[in-house]
Amino acid sequence: MLLKMAKAYRRPLLTFYLAAPPRIGDRGEDFRTLPERQATTEALVDTLVRDVRARQSMVRAIVEEEEEAGPLRWVGSARLDAGVGSVLAAIRQTLGVDLADYRAQPSPEAAFAFLRGKVEAAGVFVLLIGNLGSHHTAIPVDAFRGFALADRFAPFIVINDQDAKTAWSFTLLHELAHLWLGATGVSGGLPESRIERFCNDVAAAFLLPNPELEFVGIDRHANAEEVARLVSDFAKERHLSRSMVAYRLFRAGKIDEPLWRALTARFREEWLAQKAAKRERKGSSGPDYYIVRRSRLGSALLHFAARHVNGGTLTPTKAGKVLGVKPRSVAPLLNVAALGGWAA
């Protein structure tokens, strides 16, 4: 039983012989509003946050010691009272992102990669992680969508890659707003807290400016089926999440709360059905392990690790911890040709 518990809660066996339960790892503020929380799922979330915090700590120590760059002064520079517009303007200016360029990308995945590149260029490490190394430890989106670790030297954002790819950009911007506020924590569930609504509004206004809401073309007398179709068409043209568009319409007073919740549930069910159908078509085959890993880790962390492995600052063992892989996988993962020469 103890062995089963150690495995379920991702803790060493010795933990269960302590005189008192270990202190829960510092995940910052819990911004989630979840109807029910399963202990095993929460253990997975805690383990993931602990793991990423350890990786961040190693990166931060090297950045400070090597004096690679000064502190990012924009981290923690904003306040809720400043308003959504103020934070939105600061993010746009810092990233240098043009919304037209974002929408000009050929797919939602490409649009996210474009936005992610801008965020990483601003000094943030952006990771896509939805499990603890295998599909057996997949963390459902209901448990967390993303989390931000605010730090002026090595800020990290983690996005749950179990979520729909069309939602990744929104989550990235949401967590970026958390960094602007200096608010470390885990996000997910319904946006009921003030800070979650604020970060949602920043992300939504970034991807979908207010004036464009008029183009959705919703008639007050339209039924739910018609509204769902209009939202779907509108979102597809702009590489947006349908749920995000529905949320934006609700916040703007163009649809009521019951309809917004109904649309959100509907879009979620449709996405899950599409995901299951895709999994069946795909079968057991899949893309190369290292290609997937590089995509999940992002160019910023890969570039960082490659540079410091080459410079001798990171041993393969430490690099493996930073990258979340075994030491023997570091060399092929940081293959110079595959990384476009970043390690040089």
Q: Are residues 279 and 291 in the same domain?
A: no
In this structure, the answer to whether residues 85 and 173 fall within a common structural domain is yes
Least confident stretch, 25-39, 94-108, 247-261? 25-39
Range of the domain at 308: 287-344
Task: Tell me whether residue 48 is in a domain.
Answer: no
Residues 201 and 79 reside in one and the same domain = yes
Say if residue 170 is in the same domain as residue 270: no
Instruction: Show the DSSP H helices in the chain as ranges.
Output: 2-8, 39-66, 84-95, 99-103, 108-121, 165-181, 194-207, 224-237, 242-251, 257-282, 289-310, 316-323, 327-333
**Domain shared by 173 and 292, yes or no:** no
More confident residue, 285 or 173: 173
CATH of the domain at 108: 1.10.10
Indicate if 78 and 108 belong to the same structural domain: yes
Q: Are residues 202 and 106 in the same domain?
A: yes
Q: Are residues 143 and 100 in the same domain?
A: yes
Based on the fold, state whether residues 76 and 195 are members of the same structural domain. yes
- Looking at the structure, tell me whether residues 102 and 160 fall in a common domain: yes
Single-letter amino acid, residue 7: K
pLDDT tens per residue across span 36-85: 556 668 888 888 999 999 999 999 999 988 876 789 999 999 999 999 99
Inside any domain, residue 2 = no
Q: Give the per-residue pLDDT at 337.
A: 43
Non-local CB neighbours of 107 within 8 Å, separated by 6+ positions: 239
Considering the domain architecture, whether residues 118 and 189 belong to the same structural domain is answered as: yes
- Closest Cα to residue 197, out of 147, 247, 242? 247
Last residue of a domain, one of 207, 222, 244: 207
